[in-house]
Structure 1
Amino acid sequence: MSKLNIIILTKNEERDIEAAIQNARQCADEVIVVDSGSTDRTAELAEKNGARVLFREWDNDFAAQRNFALTKTDADWVLYLDADERMNDELVHAVKKIVSANPSDAGRKKQYSMQRKSVAFGKKFSYGPLHPDWVTRLFPRESVTWTGKVHEHPECSLPLEKLPGHIEHYTYRNWQEWEEKMARYSTIWAEEAYHKGRRASLPEALLHGIGSLFSTLLLRLGFLDGWMGVCLCCMYFSYTMLKYLKLYGLQQGDTEL
C-alpha cells in the first residue's frame, strides 16, 4: 500500500500546530514538521502530537525548506500544508482515495490541487486578495521540486487534477499579524528580485500599487466583502507598493530594509 507523508513548515506556530497535526493525521502515515528555529513550544507540541520534527536554519527561502523535507522521506506521496490550514472531511476522504489506489493506477501519474478558502480577522472572505484559490499540494514524491524564496511554487510535469473538498486557511487574526508578515514577505521579495536583476523606479512602485488596488477591489470584487474587504484591498495596495519601494531602496544602496 502506498504511503503518504504530510509536511508542515513552522516558525513559532504553537498556537496552531497541534490542531494542524491532528487534522493531517486523518490521512497521513506520518507528519513531518520542518522547523526553522522556533523560540516557543512549537517543536515540543509537534512531537507530543506524534509528528517527526526536523530542523533547518531559516535563510529567507521557503522553497528550500520544502525541498529539504523531500530529502527526509521515502514516502510514495507528499502533501504540503501550512500550520494555519485545515482540510475538511471531503478533502481528507479524497486524499485517502488517491493514496490507497493501486500503484499501477493512472492516478499515480498526476499531481493534485485543492481549493483554499481564507478566514481572516474573524471573517470568511469570498473576493479580493483573499478570494478562494487553488493550490497544488499533493504529489508523487519523486515528481516535484519547489522554486521561489517567497510565494514559492512547485515544478511538476505531471497532469494536474482538482480534488473535491477544500482547505480552510486561518490566516491573519489581526492587523498586527498582517503587518508583520507583509513586512517580512516584501523584504524577501525585494532581495530576490534585486539579485535576479530586476529594477524599479518610484513611479513604477506607485503604478504597481494602483494596479493591485484596481485588480483586488474591482476585478476581484473585493468591495463585495464589505468594509473589511475594502480595507484589505487598500492594505494590499500598500504591500505591493512597499515591495517595489524596497527594491528601489536596494538600487540606491540602502540595505536597511
Structure 2
Amino acid sequence: MKISVIIPTLNSERTIKLAVSSSLKVADEVIVVDSFSTDRTVEIAEKEGARVLQVRGSRLIARIEGAKVARGDYVVNLDSDMYFSENFKGFEEKVIALGEITVGRGIVHKLMSVDREITHKKWAENLSVCNGGIIPRMYDRQLLLKAYEMIPLNLKDRLNAFEDSVIYYNVMKLYKEGKVQFIPNAVYHIEDDSLWQFMRKWYKYGKNAKLLRGTEYERFIYERKSRPGLTLGEKMKLLPITLIKGIPFALGYYL
C-alpha cells in the first residue's frame, strides 16, 4: 500500500519543513500544492524532498489537483502546520480519521488542547458527518477522486473553509456502509497563533462559509455548534474556545 501526502501552502515557510520531513518518513511521496507563496515555502519544500505544484485557486482546488497527480493508494490531506507522530500506522479502512496532538504555546494552544482532548476522547460520536468535531484526513484515492467530482464547480474554485467537511460528506455518500477508522494521536497540530490572529482567522472562515448558503452543505454551519456526546461539564470546559471561534465566525458569516 502506497501513501501520498498532499499539503496546500501559502507563505508557510515557518512550518513546511517539519510537515514535509515527517511526511517522508511515513509516506511514499509528498506533494506540496502552493498558491504562489512570496516567502521561502517552495524552496524549503523542494529542499526537503517534496514535489511542488503551483496552482491558483482555493484550498479545495489545491487538494483536488494534488490528488489528481498522486500515485498512492491512499491520500492524506495534511495541513502545512501539521506533522506525523509515531502512532501513524495500522490502516484498516478506506476512510481514516487521524487523532491530533496540539503543540505550541500561548492561550490558543491551551484552549485547543482542551478542545481536542475532550473531543477525541468521545471520538465515536464525533465522527458524525454533519455535526461531529473530527474530520477524516486519509482516504482511498479512487474513492476520494470520485467524491471530488461531486462538488459543484463554484465551490471548488472558491472554498477555503469547511472544505474538509465537504470532502468527507461526499466521500460518505459513496462509502455508505463503510467503517471510518480512528487512529489516536496520529499527527501533531501546531497552534501558536495569538488570540487576535486566531479570531481573525475564524472571521475569515465565516466570510468564506457564506458560499455554502443554499447548498446541501449549509447544514454544517448550523449543526456543528457543539460537540456531540459530551457531558454538561465537558461542554462548559469548551465554552471559552467555542465563543472565541464562534463570535468572529458569526460576524463574518452574517454581516
Same fold (TM over 0.5): yes
Work out whether residues 112 and 136 of structure 1, in 8 Å CA contact, stay in contact via their aligned partners in 2: yes
Q: Which of 68, 73, 93 is the aligned partner of 2:70?
A: 73
Between the aligned partners of 1:164 and 1:54, the Cα distance in structure 2 is 31
Work out whether residues 4 and 28 of structure 1, in 8 Å CA contact, stay in contact via their aligned partners in 2: yes
Q: Per-residue deviation at 1:212?
A: 4.8
Aligned to 1:178: 198
Work out whether residues 129 and 232 of structure 1, in 8 Å CA contact, stay in contact via their aligned partners in 2: no
Aligned to 1:36: 35
Aligned AA (1:177): Q
Q: Which of 234, 237, 240 is the aligned partner of 1:221?
A: 234
Between the aligned partners of 1:35 and 1:136, the Cα distance in structure 2 is 22
Unaligned runs of 5+ in 2: 121-132
Q: Per-residue deviation at 1:11?
A: 0.7
Aligned-residue Cα RMSD (Å) equals: 3.4
Q: Per-residue deviation at 1:195?
A: 6.3
What CA deviation, in whole Å up to 9, does each residue of 1:82-130 have, x standing for no partner? 1111222122xx1xx54xxxxxxxx4x6221121243463426223899
What CA deviation, in whole Å up to 9, does each residue of 1:202-227 have, x standing for no partner? xxxxxx8xx95999x98573653xxx
Unaligned runs of 5+ in 1: 99-106, 200-207, 247-257
Compared CA separation, residues 128 and 69, structure 1 to 2 (3 A): closer
Compared CA separation, residues 178 and 186, structure 1 to 2 (3 A): same
Between the aligned partners of 2:187 and 2:203, the Cα distance in structure 1 is 25
Between the aligned partners of 1:219 and 1:171, the Cα distance in structure 2 is 26
What CA deviation, in whole Å up to 9, does each residue of 1:125-144 have, x standing for no partner? 22389944533122221111
Between the aligned partners of 1:79 and 1:128, the Cα distance in structure 2 is 20
Work out whether residues 87 and 183 of structure 2, in 8 Å CA contact, stay in contact via their aligned partners in 1: no
Between the aligned partners of 2:183 and 2:28, the Cα distance in structure 1 is 20
Aligned to 1:238: 247
Larger RCO, structures 1/2 (Cα 8 Å, 6+ apart) = 2
3-state SS of 2:14 partner = coil
Between the aligned partners of 2:181 and 2:239, the Cα distance in structure 1 is 33
What CA deviation, in whole Å up to 9, does each residue of 1:47-74 have, x standing for no partner? 010000001102xx33222111111122
* TM-score (norm. length: structure 2): 0.70
Between the aligned partners of 2:162 and 2:50, the Cα distance in structure 1 is 25
> Normalized per residue, which structure has more strand?
1
Aligned to 1:115: 99
3-state SS of 2:12 partner = coil
Size of the alignment, in residue pairs? 215
Kindly, what percent of the aligned residue pairs are identical?
24
Between the aligned partners of 1:214 and 1:131, the Cα distance in structure 2 is 7
The structure with the larger Rg is 1
